[in-house]
C-alpha cells in the first residue's frame, strides 16, 4: 500500500503527528483527529503516543499523551467522553453530563462501540489498533458520531446503524452526511479463515468483491469497502465518504497494529467534537 497518498490530511506539531479529514475541516463545525503512535511519552510496546489505559503503560503517561494530542487538536481534556468497546453494534447518545467519563470519572457508558451527540463541546473518543474508525458529521442538523467498526462491527453493520440512528434521532438526511473511514487494517493484511469470510459473504451478498481468495484455505476481507458500501447502500453519496487508505499493519512505524505487533501494542484514538 502506498502510505503517502491518503484521503486524510497529515498534521504535524513538533514530534506529534495525527490525521484530519479535509471535508470535516472545511465545514468549520468540528475539532477532530485520528492519532498515530508518534509524538507521545510512552515507552516499550506503547511507544510513544499510547492512548489506552488498559495497555502496558502508566496512567501518567497516557494522561500526558492525551494532553499533547488534545492541545494540538484544540480540545479540553475535561470535555472528553470515552467509549467502552465490545465489538458489537451498540451506539450511545451522550451529552455534556457525560464529559470526563472514562478519563477523569468512572464511566457508566458500557458495552457501546459508537458514540453520538448534537451538543457542542462533547468530545467523542473511540480506540483502535487495526479496527476501522468511522467518523460521521451531519453539517445541516449539526450532529456527530464516531463508531468503532472492527470485523465483527463491520459485519454487524455498525456504520449503517449509526447513520440510521442519526436519522431517527436528529433527522439527518443521508445525502447531507459526511463520513471519514480512518487508518485501519487493509485487505493487504486482513487474512482470515473461512468462518470470517463467510460472515462477510452472508452480510454482504450483493457485494462479493469484499472477500477475495488467498492462499490455501485463507481469504482476504476488505473492511474499508465493506464500510463504504454499507453507507452507500444507505444513501450516503460516494463523494461524501473519505477513506484514509492507510493500513495500520503495513505501517507499524506510524500506527499501533494489534495484528502487526502480535497483540503487544498501544491504542490509537479518534476524537470528534462539535465546536
- Asked whether position 247 contacts Zn ion by CB under 5 A, the answer is yes
Can you tell me the distance from the alpha carbon of 163 to that of 102, in angstroms, rounded to the nearest whole number?
24
- The whole-angstrom separation of Cα 34 and Cα 54 is 19
b/e code 9-33 from CB counts within 10 Å (16+ = b):
eebeeeebbbbbbebbeeeebbbbb
Q: Does 125 bind Zn ion (CB under 5 A)?
A: no
Q: Is 13 helix (H, G, I), strand (E, B) or coil?
A: strand
Q: Does position 226 bind Zn ion by CB under 5 A?
A: no
| 250 binds Zn ion per the rule CB under 5 A | yes
Residue 142 or 228 having the CB closest to Zn ion: 228
Q: How far is the CB of 127 from Zn ion (least distance, A)?
A: 20
Q: Which is nearer to Zn ion, 112 or 151 (CB)?
A: 151
Query: What is the distance of C-alpha 250 from the center of its chain?
Result: 17
Separation of alpha carbons 77 and 68, rounded Å: 10
Q: How far is the CB of 208 from Zn ion (least distance, A)?
A: 21
Minimum Å distance from CB 245 to Zn ion? 11
Stretch that binds Zn ion, among 29-37, 43-51, 155-163, 185-193 (CB under 5 A): 185-193
Q: Should residue 229 be labelled a site residue for Zn ion when binding is judged by CB under 5 A?
A: no
Stretch that binds Zn ion, among 29-37, 39-47, 174-182, 249-257 (CB under 5 A): 249-257
In the complex, the smallest distance separating the C-beta of residue 19 from Zn ion, rounded to whole angstroms, is 17
For 110-168, the three-class secondary structure string (H helix, E strand, C coil) is: CCECEEEECCCCCEEEEEECCCEEEEEEECCCCEEEEEEECHHHHHCCHHHHHHHHHHH
By CB under 5 A, tell whether 186 contacts Zn ion.
Answer: yes
Range 189-218, binding Zn ion (CB under 5 A): 189
| Sites of contact with Zn ion (CB under 5 A) | 186, 188-189, 247, 249-250
Amino acid at each position: 500500500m502506498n502510505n503517502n497518498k491518503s484521503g486524510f490530511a497529515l498534521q504535524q506539531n513538533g514530534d506529534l503527528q495525527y490525521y484530519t479529514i479535509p471535508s470535516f475541516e472545511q465545514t468549520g463545525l468540528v475539532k477532530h483527529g485520528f492519532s498515530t503512535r508518534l509524538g507521545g511519552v510512552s515507552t516499550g510496546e506503547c511507544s510513544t503516543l499510547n492512548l489506552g489505559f488498559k495497555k502496558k503503560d502508566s496512567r501518567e503517561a497516557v494522561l500526558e499523551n492525551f494532553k499533547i494530542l488534545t492541545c494540538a487538536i484544540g480540545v479540553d481534556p475535561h470535555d472528553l467522553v470515552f467509549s467502552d468497546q465490545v465489538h458489537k453494534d451498540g451506539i450511545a447518545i451522550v451529552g455534556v453530563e457525560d464529559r470526563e467519563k472514562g478519563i477523569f470519572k468512572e464511566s457508566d457508558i458500557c458495552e457501546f462501540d459508537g458514540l453520538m451527540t448534537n451538543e457542542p463541546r462533547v468530545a467523542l473518543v473511540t480506540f483502535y489498533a487495526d479496527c476501522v474508525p468511522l467518523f460521521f458529521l451531519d453539517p445541516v442538523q449539526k450532529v456527530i458520531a464516531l463508531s468503532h467498526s472492527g470485523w465483527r462491527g463491520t459485519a454487524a453493520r455498525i456504520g449503517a446503524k449509526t447513520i440510521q440512528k442519526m436519522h431517527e434521532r436528529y433527522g439527518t438526511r443521508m445525502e447531507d452526511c459526511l463520513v471519514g473511514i480512518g487508518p485501519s487494517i487493509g485487505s493487504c493484511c486482513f487474512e482470515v479463515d473461512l468462518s470470517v469470510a463467510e460472515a462477510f459473504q452472508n452480510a454482504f451478498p450483493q457485494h462479493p468483491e469484499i472477500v477475495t481468495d488467498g492462499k490455501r484455505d485463507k481469504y482476504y476481507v476488505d473492511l474499508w469497502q465493506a464500510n463504504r458500501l454499507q453507507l452507500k447502500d444507505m444513501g450516503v453519496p460516494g463523494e461524501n465518504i473519505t477513506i484514509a487508505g492507510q493500513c495500520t499493519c503495513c505501517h507499524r512505524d506510524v500506527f499501533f497494529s494489534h495484528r502487526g505487533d502480535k497483540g503487544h501494542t498501544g491504542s490509537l484514538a479518534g476524537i470528534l467534537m462539535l465546536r
